[in-house]
Amino acid sequence: MVLMRYEEDGTQIDRLLLEDVDVDEYIARKDAALAMATPYQEYRARLDG
C-alpha cells in the first residue's frame, strides 16, 4: 500500500510505502465507493440537461 500525499494545488509531496496494512479494509472502501458511483456518461447527461 502506498500513501500518496499532495499539496492543495495538486503537486505531489511524496509517496510513503505502508507496511503491515490490512488491505481488506481499503478494498472494501474502494468497492463501496464504486457501488455508489455514477457512471461518467450518466453524470454528463445530467449536466447537459
pLDDT for the residue numbered 12: 97
Q: Would you say the pTM of this structure is higher than 0.75? A: no
Residue 16 lies inside a defined structural domain of this protein: no
Q: Evaluate whether residue 13 is within a structural domain.
A: no
pLDDT in tens, 1-28: 999 999 999 999 999 999 999 999 999 9
Query: Is residue 14 included in any domain, yes or no?
Result: no
Closest by CA position to 25, among listed 33, 17, 15: 33
Within a domain: 8:
no
Paired residues of 5 in beta bridges = 14
Rounded to the nearest 10°, the torsion over CA 21, 26, 27, 33 is 180
Domain hosting 38: range is 21-49
